[in-house]
Amino acid sequence: MSNQRLIYGFHAINARLWQNPKSITEIYVQEGKSDARTRDVLQKAADEKVRVHFADADRLNKLSKGMRHQGVVGFIDASKNHVHLEDVLENLSEPPLLLVLDGITDPHNLGACLRTADAMGVHAVIAPKDRSAGLNATVSKVACGAAETVPYITVTNLARTLRELKEYGIWIIGTDTGGDSDLYRCGLPDSVAWVMGNEGEGMRRLTREHCDMLVSIPMFGTVESMNVSVSTGMVLSETRRRRTLQSEQA
């Protein structure tokens, strides 16, 4: 199956079983395991009528390509996880909070960004198809289930998508060391799409040109920059903090 994708580990498997069980084609469980987490997976799989196979550790190691699978491996039909941006935006009960990842190529960084996005209530993560790590087993593992809960939308033309977001009244805010203002002093509109650039090169020129504002993260120590997933956590946390204060004062 061309759209088949590997997932492994209890977080990724459980999240998929609860969020989108129909996308799971089969699960492999290590034979002889009877701990509580394994029993929960087996019970949920039975409830959802997901096919389960029992296999020895060597078989699971081969299926997971040597990754730490915790005794559970699954395969999903990735085509059943496709979400359209319009579906997300038209069904929100609060102003949009989006994360745009312009060229994040490290799957560990992508997984960490998705995990943070889930924690901060991001409504969708957007990335270009041709310049991104893409969802894979490593991303799902690092994301600890967030890859199955946060809508991850890949687009063929990121610049066009940014223009469409503006038509919805969403401000495009890029992160840059030479930003117009810093994170703690800038004014944040109600509807925001934060843009994070590539780990080494930052945002592409065309992406930068579509930003309504460029914001820097103040550095108070000796290092000059931070990992993209850490920066993502900072801007999303600050945005959520301000929203919480605003709602409490309303």
Which SS3 state, helix, strand or coil, does residue 28 take?
strand
Judge whether 219 is annotated as a binding position.
no
* Residue 75 token pair: 């395969």
CA distance 219 to 226: 9
- Placement of tokens 């203002």 in the chain: 181
Judge whether 226 is annotated as a binding position.
yes
On whether the CB atoms of residues 8 and 69 are closer than 8 A, the answer is yes
Distances (CA, A) of 91 to 87, 88, 193: 6, 6, 17
- Placement of tokens 């080494």 in the chain: 200
Q: What is the DSSP letter of 224?
A: S
Distances (CA, A) of 18 to 23, 29, 65, 128, 242: 11, 17, 25, 27, 31
Residue 223, amino acid = V
CA distance 39 to 91: 36
Alpha helices (runs of H) in 80-136, residue ranges in sequence order: 85-89, 107-119
Alpha helices (runs of H) in the chain, residue ranges in sequence order: 10-19, 36-47, 57-63, 85-89, 107-119, 137-143, 158-167, 205-209, 228-249
Judge whether 217 is annotated as a binding position.
yes
Binding residues for S-adenosyl-L-methionine: 197, 217, 226
Q: Which residues are annotated as a binding site?
A: 197, 217, 226
